[in-house]
Structure 1
Amino acid sequence: MPVVQAEVVVPVSPAVAYAVSQTTGDVRRRWDVFIRAQHFLDDATLPAKGVRTATRQRFGLSMTTRYVSYAPPTNVGMVMETGPWFFRSLGAGWRFEEVPGGTRAVWKYSFRCRPAWLAPIAERIGVVVLGREIRRRIAGFARGCEDPVVLAAADAIRGGKGKGPDPT
């Protein structure tokens, strides 16, 4: 299964980095270059294991995903339930680890393409395309971890536990 990943060190605690990764709506679009629209499904209002989301990316492709793990402030994972025809499967996950100077955030995608006869070529192309996309997204995430609007939203997600970009 092909895997692409990107990582960055951001100058905030793991709890804040985690919360930034879970922002939604206009706040999410401030840092996430991939998403055009995203919302929770099934009357959910907060992310949690089992919660489903609908996402439309900037070129119009849509997918439904489900949280398969939600463990603040260390990791979160999602899998695609429905999406573009060329993905047989797609999973994404974040890991957060405290390091000197902040938090190391690692974002990873794993995927399979279809149809089977085209998968070997499509997956090589996918590694290039998704690799470029994940690097753009994590660079945006790093900018979000320094954006006062995004940090205020992250603080609200955490229940008002911090007073700025460096709460513990």
Structure 2
Amino acid sequence: MPNVTSSVVVPVDPATAFAVAQTTGEVRLRWDSFIRRQYFLDGATDPAVGVQTHTRHRWGLGVVSEYVSYAPPTNVGMKMVRGPWFFSHLAGGWRFAAAEGATKATWKYSFRCRPRWLAPLAEAIGCRVLQRDIDRRIAGFARGCRDEVVLASVRDAGGGAP
């Protein structure tokens, strides 16, 4: 199964980095250029294992994902429940580890394309496209970890270090 991974070291503690990664609404859009819109489904207001979200990608593609792990401040994992026809599988995990007064964030995505006869070509192209998108997204996350508006929002919500 193809995978793409991207890492960055950010100048905040793991709890703050994790909290930035879980921001929502306008605060999320300040750093996450990957999405156009994202919201919880079924009345959920907070992330937790089993909670589903709807994400509208900046290109207009929609995905319903479900949290399969949620362990602040170290990791979060999600899997696609419903999404674009060309993915038979899409999942991602974000890890946050202390790194000499900072945090190393590592984001890994795995996917499988369909139809199977086209998968080798589609997955090769998908690796390039997703790698570029994930590299850009994690760079935006790094900017968010330096953005005073984002950091203030996280502090106000009780996430991360004061």
Q: TM-score, normalised by structure 1?
A: 0.94
**Structure 1 residues 44 and 126: alpha-carbon distance in aligned structure 2, compared to 1, 3 A threshold:** same
Matched with 2:85 is 85
| Secondary structure in structure 2 of the residue aligned to 1:7 | strand
Separation in 2, partners of 1:8, 1:99: 11
Moved over 3 A (4+): none
In structure 2, stretches of 5+ residues that fail to align are none
Separation in 2, partners of 1:60, 1:161: 32
Q: How far apart are 1:154 and its partner, in Å?
A: 1.8
| Secondary structure in structure 1 of the residue aligned to 2:4 | strand
In structure 1, stretches of 5+ residues that fail to align are 164-168
Separation in 1, partners of 2:68, 2:20: 19
Matched with 2:73 is 73
CA displacement, residues 116-137 of structure 1 (integer Å, 9 cap, x when unaligned):
0000100000000000000000
Matched with 1:162 is 161
Matched with 1:166 is none
Amino acid at match of 2:50: G
Matched with 2:119 is 119
1:1-168 pair list within 5 angstroms: 1-157=1-157, 159=158, 162-163=161-162
Q: How far apart are 1:160 and its partner, in Å?
A: 5.8
CA displacement, residues 69-120 of structure 1 (integer Å, 9 cap, x when unaligned):
0000100000000000000000011001101130000011100000000001
**Structure 1 residues 153 and 114: alpha-carbon distance in aligned structure 2, compared to 1, 3 A threshold:** same
RMSD, matched Cα: 1.0
Separation in 2, partners of 1:161, 1:154: 7
Separation in 1, partners of 2:35, 2:143: 16
Amino acid at match of 2:64: T
Q: How far apart are 1:152 and its partner, in Å?
A: 1.7
**Structure 1 residues 161 and 2: alpha-carbon distance in aligned structure 2, compared to 1, 3 A threshold:** closer
| Secondary structure in structure 1 of the residue aligned to 2:9 | strand
